[in-house]
Amino acid sequence: MSLSSESGASVALLRGADLAPALWKNGGGTTREIAAWPTGGPSPDGFAWRASLADIARAGPFSRFAGVDRTLMLTDGAGLLLDEAQAEGHAPRATHTLAHALEAARFAGESVIDARLVAGPVRVFNLMVRRGAARGALQTWRTAGRRNVRAQTVLLHAAQGPVEASVTGAAFVALAPGDTLRVEAGQGIDIESRGPGALLVVTLDIVFPGDRRTPPEPARSRA
């Protein structure tokens, strides 16, 4: 669904209920892609950045993504442990503990990661950014207010709901858990949020050596 903004920013509403699940190769979970850039490339792994939701049903290894920095945030479930090893078959050198909703872990995509569930399935928000191709940052807003954000692309994801968001003076949009507003701005925009839920704010910039190109507008989702 396409929305209007007084600033001229392009805003698209992506409903979580419309995201198609893709089964993991090991059968241990599913991924629902929220947004990525570029889209429609020759390889699904040829992204500069990608945001998705993952439902993890059982323990097991994560796929590895060389040259990618990952941020994983728990949004639902009793908890998740991520054992990080130096190489296949080695003992873990660190364990990332996500015991409560909105706790996050950051690790390199080429790391050997094995997931353990604390007490049943979990859902996580997954941000992947390719080094040298894009820059990305993730913030969690838990209180109402107006803030200025500057990035080429901004994702406003409802991790917990209900929550409402307004982009640069436009009408508030009600977001259920799993819903996302994708904003193509290229400049500073004012974002106002309200409601008891938690809003994840992802800022993304494509890095083009030697030029100042910005990503094209995303394909519109259909209501």
Residue 220 has pLDDT above 60, yes or no: no
Any idea what DSSP says for residue 97? E
Same domain, 75 and 173: no
**What radius of gyration do the chain's Cα atoms show?**
17
* Contact of 101 with 160, CB cutoff 8 Å: yes
pLDDT given at position 214: 46
User: Is residue 94 located within the same domain as residue 148?
Assistant: no
Better-predicted residue by pLDDT, 117 or 42 = 117
For residue range 138-191, what is the model confidence (pLDDT) as tens digits?
999 999 999 999 999 999 999 998 999 999 999 999 999 999 999 998 789 999
Domain termination site, one of 84, 109, 130: 130
Please check whether residue 219 lies inside any domain of the structure. no
**DSSP β-ladder status, 173-175 and 134-141:** unpaired
Residues 9 and 57 in one domain: no
Residues 145 and 81 grouped into a single domain: no
Which pLDDT belongs to residue 217? 42
Question: 92 falls in which pLDDT band (50, 70, 90)?
Answer: confident
Same-domain pairing of 9 and 97: no
Residue 42, domain extent: 19-130
Of 199, 148, 198, 156, give the one whose Cα is nearest residue 51: 156
CATH code of the domain in which 143 resides: 2.60.120.10
Same domain? 9 vs 35: no
pTM recorded for the entire structure = 0.87
pLDDT for residue 42: 52
